[in-house]
Amino acid sequence: MKIAVTGKGGVGKTVISALLTKYFSKLGDTLAVDADPDSNLADVLGVEVEKTVSDVVDELYMKKYEIEDKDRWFEAKINEVIHEDEFDLIVMGKKEREGCYCYINSLLKKIMQKVVDYYDYVVVDCEAGIEILSRKTIDFVDAILVVVNKSKLSRDTAERIKKLVKELGIQAKVVVVGNKGAKGDFVIPFSEKIEECLELGKPLELFDDVRKSIEDLVEGLKS
Ligand SMILES: Nc1ncnc2c1ncn2[C@@H]1O[C@H](COP(=O)(O)OP(=O)(O)OP(=O)(O)O)[C@@H](O)[C@H]1O
Ligand SMILES: [Mg+2]
């Protein structure tokens, strides 16, 4: 099962991605991807990542006149950015740099397509908004979660994402996940334990007060 977690800024994408990652890691080979340049999934999962995809791309830029086949060079490097833990984690990292980002993005997309098939479960924590969908970086997913909270703005973003998925012809199941008790196809309750962890900067666990909702969500995605 390969899942992208999307939605407006601040609605709980990273929290839900982390909970899903913890849940899946007990079931099979799991890859978490932090595709948000302002990344914090690693922190929320309690993992220290040495190298991001963006670091490797920087390296590529510095050595670009020495490297003949850039695609092959990049492929050989990709293992360096897969952090291995009870689950694997890839952090895309920042995207600000000179030159055309389209090339880098197309490389990233190729890498993702290469590695995702090795995993039973993939969870992609996306950047807020719709850019990642319009760039088609996450074409491989079979489910797109659109996280909303109680604000109308988050529901408006959800509508835009749904429309875009249709327009782009992406063949993934789209479900709305109401976080902190908001309305949706699935609902994740507000969790004091999650709030406390994030306040203290402690890694998240699949706490009892959210476990059932994550199980229901995953079951729902299967049907
Ligand atoms: N189910 C929940 N229960 C309690 N607190 C939550 C829950 N979900 C999210 N939060 C709180 O909401 C805040 C925002 O969540 P999160 O960082 O996951 O949002 P995001 O959508 O990833 O934001 P961004 O767009 O900035 O990446 C977190 O700091 C966390 O404290
Ligand atoms: Mg986030």
CB 49 near ligand 1, within 6 Å: no
Cα distance between the two ends of the chain: 12
Q: What is the mean pLDDT of the chain?
A: 90
Q: What is the mean pLDDT of residues 21-27?
A: 97
- Asked whether the predicted pLDDT for residue 32 surpasses 80, the reply is yes
| Residue range 70-107, pLDDT digits in tens | 778 877 888 898 999 899 999 988 766 655 556 666 66
Closest atom of ligand 1 relative to the 192 alpha carbon: 4
Pocket-testing residue among 6, 8, 11, 15, ligand 1, by greatest number of atoms within 8 A of Cβ: 15
The atom of ligand 1 lying closest to the CA of 125 is 22
The residue behind tokens 């055309």 is 100
Domain membership of residue 41 as a residue range: 2-222
pLDDT reported for residue 76 = 84
So what's the pLDDT on residue 77? Answer: 85
> pTM of the entire structure?
0.94
In the chain, the percentage of residues whose pLDDT exceeds 90 is 64
| pLDDT at residue 102, rounded to an integer | 64
* pLDDT band at 67; cut points 50, 70, 90: confident
pLDDT at position 99 is: 53
pLDDT for the residue numbered 127: 87
**pLDDT: is 14 or 63 the higher one?**
14
Q: Indicate which residue's Cα is closest to atom 1 of ligand 1.
A: 190
Gap from CA of 19 to ligand 1 centroid (Å):
11
Tokens 């990642």 found at: 132
Residues 6+ apart with CB under 8 A from 92: 33, 34, 35, 36, 37, 39, 52, 53, 54, 108
CATH number at residue 216: 3.40.50.300
pLDDT digits (tens, 9 = 90+) for 193-202: 999 999 999 9
Instruction: Using the atom order of ligand 1, give the atom closest to the CA of residue 15.
Output: 18
Where does the chain have alpha helices with state H? 13-25, 41-45, 53-62, 70-77, 101-116, 131-134, 152-168, 192-200, 208-222
Q: Is the pLDDT of residue 167 over 70?
A: yes
Average pLDDT score over residue span 46-69: 87
For residue 179 and ligand 1, the question of a CB distance below 6 A is answered with yes
Encode pLDDT of 107-166 as tens digits: 677 778 888 999 999 999 998 887 777 777 778 899 999 999 999 999 999 999 999 999
Q: What single letter denotes the amino acid at residue 9?
A: G
Contact assessment for residue 5 and residue 32, using Cβ atoms and an 8 Å cutoff: no
How many domains in the chain?
1
Q: Return the pLDDT at 121.
A: 97
What is d(CA 213, CA 15) in angstroms, rounded to the nearest whole number?
Answer: 13
CA of 69 to the centre of ligand 1 (A): 41
